[in-house]
Structure 1
């Protein structure tokens, strides 16, 4: 009878350990998934920042050229 009780207790402890390992595996999977998503987001943010820093701003050049051309066509005497 003593042997049977010891076997039941051992089996119960073994089941607790197995379920604990399964819960830890699920936590690890979630943590790894979030870490990968965070890493991809960080790389994308850095790439966007570098792109914005390196790419030229063509709008400023266009506005400057337009102002210069506009001034060439009109003189101060033509104004009313």
Structure 2
């Protein structure tokens, strides 16, 4: 079903699968991009993410059941926009 003007808009902070045995983990749902990005940066200061600097974390913008944009955060490269 396509998103409409009345569809819910949410920003999900997620830890995407980065190894073959992992699955996507939702870290939180937020009403704004700024809040979600802040939460991702705060999450990155907790173990095991402090020790695993190679891992990336994402913020996904969903409108209804459509994934609109993904922002990927890497401690070394900062934020990168996809989609």
TM-score, normalization by structure 1: 0.21
Of Structure 1 and Structure 2, the greater helix share is in 1
Which structure has the bigger radius of gyration? 1
Of Structure 1 and Structure 2, the greater strand share is in 2
TM-score, normalization by structure 2: 0.21
Higher relative contact order (CA 8 A, sep 6+): 2
